[in-house]
Every structure is written in C-alpha cells, then in structure tokens.
Amino acid sequence: MSSQQINQALPEGTQLLNYRIAKQLSGGGFSIVYLAYDETGTPVAIKEYLPSGLALRNDGEMVQATSVDNLNTFRYGMKCFFEEGRALAKIAHPNVVRVTNFFRANETVYMVMQYERGKTLQDHIQQNKGTVRESFIRRVFVQMLNGLREVHTHKILHLDIKPANIYLRLDGSPVLLDFGAARQTLSSEKNKLSPMYTPGFAAPEQYKNRERLGPWTDIYSVGATMFSCMAGFAPQAADARMEDDKMTSATKLWPGQYSEQLLLLIDQCLELDYMKRPQSVFALQKELVKEAPPEVPRKKTLMNSIRATLNKELF
C-alpha cells in the first residue's frame, strides 16, 4: 500500500459516543478533522488519528494498520496522540484550542475540540497580500504568545506553528490550533513516516539535533510566521538554509515599511543557531509589546494612492 493513499473519512451521520458527524473539515497525512454535533446540538471539531502511511480505512468505520510491521508504530503514535489530548485538556486558555474530550473507538483515537468560527491567519494573509499592518502583527502575536506561554508552562512544545495553525475568531482574537507533538514523536521512529514538519516554518533542530528542541524551537516558527505575514510566503526552509543560506533578512526586505525594531526581532527569531534566538516566549513578548513608532507610511504605489483616496471619500 502506498504511503500516499488517501483514507476514507467517516460518512455524514456517523455516531461517535454522543457526537454525530456532520462533515469533514480538513484532512492531511496524519489526521482527519470533522464538524460534529453533540446531543444538545452544540458544534464541536473532532480530530481522528489516521496517519495515512501506517493505517487504512476502506469501507466501514474500523481503522487497520497497513502491515504487521507498521502496527507497533501506529500504536505508538496513537498513544502519543492520546497523551497529547490528555495534556491539552488540562489547558484552559482563550488563545489555545480547547480540548473537551478524547476517547478510543474504531481501533483509533479521537480528540474533541471546541468549534471556533472565523478564518485562519493563512486566509487573512492571502486576502491582504502585502498590506498586513504592523499594528495587526503585534496585536495578534502578543495574544497568541499568551497562549503559547501557557502551553510551555505545561511542558508541551507546539512544534507546528504556522499561519494555517493560528485561527482568527470573528472578533479578531487568535487561537493556537493543531499541535504537532505526536507527529514529531512519530517522525522520530526510523523510516516509518515521512517527516511531518512544515518546510519554512520548522526550526533547524527539528530536522536534526532533536535533543536541542525547546521553547526557542517554537520561537523560530513564530518568527517565520511573522515573516510570512509580510512576504505572503514562508522563508527559505531551515534544512536548505543550513546547506546554503539564501534567505534575505527582514531588515533588508522591508526597510521603511515596518519598524526596524520589529524587523530585527523577526531576524533574531529566525537565527539558525538556537542560542541566538529569544530563549522564552516571555522574552519575545517583551519586545513585541514595546511601543511601536507611528505606523510607517507605505511607499507610495498607484494602488496605495487609490486606496488612500477611497478611504478619504468613504470616511
């Protein structure tokens, strides 16, 4: 069976404990996320552990390992996924996805989360390419880092911070989603799964020297995510940078468009040497909450001139 197989999602109407599956929200190589409703009609998001390289569902609901050889790795990953759910369930913070339940069924594990309405930071970046303001970046990341600090306090690393895993509620407040800890543990099982980190956002030590993982690893990903707010794309992948660093620094890319203090901070977060990055979320937050200079006027472009004129007419 190819590791690229696509597993079938549970069909609409499937009952899991007291939850009824309404539809699939997303799916990747590691898990499938569903929208479901509990017995009171409250919407929830349910994540099903289903690594496509290791497990298979054809017809029906049961999950099976793809081979006898993969069975131990699949079970080990399932244990990690379950432990991750247990750890996250202890965290009640407005900027961290709320895990309300986790359980075993269909020979696999499910994590039940509060369902949030809004859009991902990735969606916001795509809709506002080249116009994401410094005040927005500082506000969203200071709030998101409140959540990450709480996570680190519980001795958990996120290990997959990127724009697609930061959710913006309708009121603009950010929620940290989709922790990669179980995937990271799984990918360390030799030759069993292709690596699950996200190129451009994963720190160098996620590729090798994994014993050096720490808060600074998530801080690299935060720097890469702030970089992508400005660029509209991820910086050069860390493994490529270690071979031949071609990444242009934020200070060289956006002088005059964002404050030098913020650009320097992003460059510091993206240091390949983990010792040169901010060593804690608190240290990073202290820099982000510093009073930014007045919003730097953007270099005049035809589009910006048109926008400015329209804004004057509208307001």
What's residue 226's pLDDT? 98
Mean pLDDT over each residue of the chain, to the nearest integer: 87
156 in Cβ contact with 88 (< 8 Å)? yes
- Say whether pLDDT at 52 is over 70: yes
Residues 174 and 220 in one domain: yes
Is there a domain that residue 295 lies in?
A: no
**Domain of 247: which CATH number?**
1.10.510.10
b or e along 2-39 (b: 16 or more beta carbons within 10 Å of the residue's beta carbon)? eeeeebbbbeeeeebeebbbbebeebebbbbbbebeee
Is there a domain that residue 160 lies in?
A: yes
Residues 106 and 122 in one domain: no
What's residue 305's pLDDT? 52
What's residue 77's pLDDT? 84
Confidence of residue 83 (pLDDT cuts 50, 70, 90): confident
Residues 280 and 148 in one domain: yes
Residues 26 and 90 in one domain: yes
- Say whether pLDDT at 86 is over 60: yes
Residues 126 and 227 in one domain: yes
Is there a domain that residue 72 lies in?
A: yes
Q: What is the pLDDT of residues 213-248, one digit of tens each?
A: 999 999 999 999 999 999 999 999 999 999 999 999
Q: What is the pLDDT of residues 175-192, one digit of tens each?
A: 998 876 555 544 554 444
Domain boundary among 114, 131, 162: 114
What's residue 144's pLDDT? 98
Is there a domain that residue 110 lies in?
A: yes
Is there a domain that residue 237 lies in?
A: yes
Is there a domain that residue 106 lies in?
A: yes
In sequence order, what are the residues at sequence separation of 6 or more whose Cβ sits closer than 8 angstroms to the Cβ of residue 184? Answer: 157, 159, 160, 196, 197, 206, 210, 213
Per cent of the chain over pLDDT 90 is: 62
- Say whether pLDDT at 271 is over 60: yes
What's residue 104's pLDDT? 93
Least confident of 72-81, 144-153, 189-198: 189-198
- Calculate the CA 195 to chain-centre distance: 15
Per cent of the chain over pLDDT 70 is: 85
Backbone angles phi and psi of 53, in degrees to 5: -75, -15
Residues 258 and 198 in one domain: yes
Confidence of residue 172 (pLDDT cuts 50, 70, 90): very high
Residues 36 and 126 in one domain: no
**Domain of 34: which CATH number?**
3.30.200.20
What's residue 3's pLDDT? 42
- Say whether pLDDT at 311 is over 50: no
User: What is the arithmetic mean of pLDDT over 128-139?
Assistant: 95
Is there a domain that residue 301 lies in?
A: no
Residues 187 and 255 in one domain: yes
Residues 174 and 56 in one domain: no
Element housing 49 (H / E)? strand 43-49
What's residue 295's pLDDT? 57
Three-class secondary structure of residue 120 per DSSP: strand
Task: Count the domains in the chain.
Answer: 2
CA-closest candidate to residue 147, choices 74, 209, 218, 77: 218
> Which residue intervals of the chain are DSSP H helices?
68-89, 121-127, 134-153, 181-187, 215-231, 238-243, 250-253, 260-269, 281-288, 302-314
Is there a domain that residue 192 lies in?
A: yes
What's residue 274's pLDDT? 97
User: What is the arithmetic mean of pLDDT over 74-99?
Assistant: 89
Residues 159 and 228 in one domain: yes
Q: Which long-range contacts (CB under 8 A, 24 or more apart) does 256-263 make?
A: 256/296, 256/299, 257/230, 257/296, 257/298, 257/299, 258/134, 258/137, 258/230, 258/296, 259/134, 259/292, 259/293, 259/296, 261/287, 261/290, 261/292, 262/134, 262/137, 262/138, 262/226, 262/288, 262/292
User: What is the arithmetic mean of pLDDT over 108-117?
Assistant: 94
Least confident of 66-80, 132-146, 173-187, 261-275: 173-187
Domain region containing 224 = 118-288
Confidence of residue 49 (pLDDT cuts 50, 70, 90): very high
Domain boundary among 82, 114, 146: 114
Residues 192 and 278 in one domain: yes
Higher pLDDT, 196 or 49: 49
Domain boundary among 99, 114, 129: 114
Residues 156 and 72 in one domain: no
